[in-house]
Structure 1
């Protein structure tokens, strides 16, 4: 079973920052999950929330700032003073960093294109990905937004896609088949639902966010493909 670092090693480092990704990689994780939003000047940036106040010293929406303005914010001090000075990464920065590593891992890019619609996000993402060699085997694009996954499929039907779900959704498999989704990423409630059990026999299942070692053993018994965790150090040891 694969271990993905949820927003990097976010249990002990500020989420979605380069230090969180670096430390997760050093642990030997199989993959890293991150989230992208888009700035007003069209840069894809790595941050979970549509608003910046939870994880930076700024106030407002990502969409209302230029990339240069966002880079001036502190994205680490909120977690602990010793991380003050960490910055919001551009997605390109993360991809460059991964390209320089000796060991290949999976990068799960979650498109946060639901609460706020970022026009052209999917096109920008795929244009960026196509500028890197051998990315197809190491990138998974995921989203809760069905529309976002559908647009990715229209642009490039061969992209590895994952459908994010919460709880039980009756039409999950029908849509997954329609756009050639290979994985479904769901919570525990989805996994144990009737639809979750049916889906696990047809596609790969990744469960988020698993921080309980006892739950990890249960998931191993259920033949889950991967788990996402804030504490990959605990899960890798298991």
Structure 2
């Protein structure tokens, strides 16, 4: 009888433990930082043409934590700010960026439509952005391979040096390419690096195993389990969105998961 009571007590304790553990597993752990950072994704894209000086000026005026920008390299090895591989979607021109010289790129303009009006502006170089803002802003720069090679990193680092921006307080680097991040780590070891994962391609084991202090993933791949696991390992989590129609609801969900930053 006494043994039976002991087993009953043991069973109850185990059950309570499982219940408590299950509750904790479904609770978001605190983030690495208290309040999520806001990164101006390609500038203020709700107000002006993406990846333009004006768009970044609007974002800066709104007080974002960093200006997020994508780099592409022209045929004559100049870094410009452009998300796509081609200029087709955002400008009045056509062609792959790395098939065009800067002189050819500058013949075209970005095209947008806001409040019923067509808006136009030059395609900016990275140096033009630095000339505009200098060290008054923080930059979140996405690098990528050029024809499979890590060749934009050296001119990027040189530009950062020229404008006194080669410091982690001012610049962070992100990339889907580990090859690019590895080269940046050698050229600029003080900068914080973010490994990005494409939508539907997130690999938690991979994210936990790499040395990079920040992990970037698409919002639909974010869950309590994923975010908690990364936070337990001391990694910041930055989230981007593909579906912009319900962006505010998605942002609120990410806040509930205690992510450390999101692109907006």
Report the TM-score when normalising by structure 2.
0.76
C-alpha distance in structure 1 between counterparts of 2:156 and 2:193, whole Å:
13
Specify which of 76, 88, 100 is matched with residue 123 of structure 2.
Answer: 88
Segments of structure 1 that go 5 or more residues without pairing to the other structure are 230-238
- Provide, for residues 163-221 of structure 1, a one-character-per-residue CA deviation record: whole Å limited to 9, x for no partner: 1113421312212x1xxx22111112332174443113321111112852223222222
Would you say the 8 A contact 1:190–1:196 is kept in 2? Answer: no
Which of 1 and 2 has greater Rg? 2
Specify which of 45, 48, 52 is matched with residue 17 of structure 1.
Answer: 52
Equivalent runs, 1:77-226 vs 2, <5 Å: 77=112, 81-84=117-120, 86-99=121-134, 104-113=136-145, 116-136=147-167, 137-166=169-198, 167=200, 168-169=202-203, 170-175=205-210, 177=211, 181-192=212-223, 194-201=225-232, 202-209=234-241, 211=244, 212-226=247-261
The residue aligned with 2:97 is: 62
C-alpha distance in structure 2 between counterparts of 1:51 and 1:218, whole Å:
33
Q: Which moved more, 1:186-195 or 1:31-40?
A: 186-195
- Provide, for residues 106-165 of structure 1, a one-character-per-residue CA deviation record: whole Å limited to 9, x for no partner: 211111327x33552111111111112254111111110111111111222222211111
Report the TM-score when normalising by structure 1.
0.84
Segments of structure 2 that go 5 or more residues without pairing to the other structure are 1-35
Q: 1:213 to 1:108 in 2, by over 3 A?
A: same
- For the residue of structure 1 that corresponds to 2:45, the secondary structure is coil
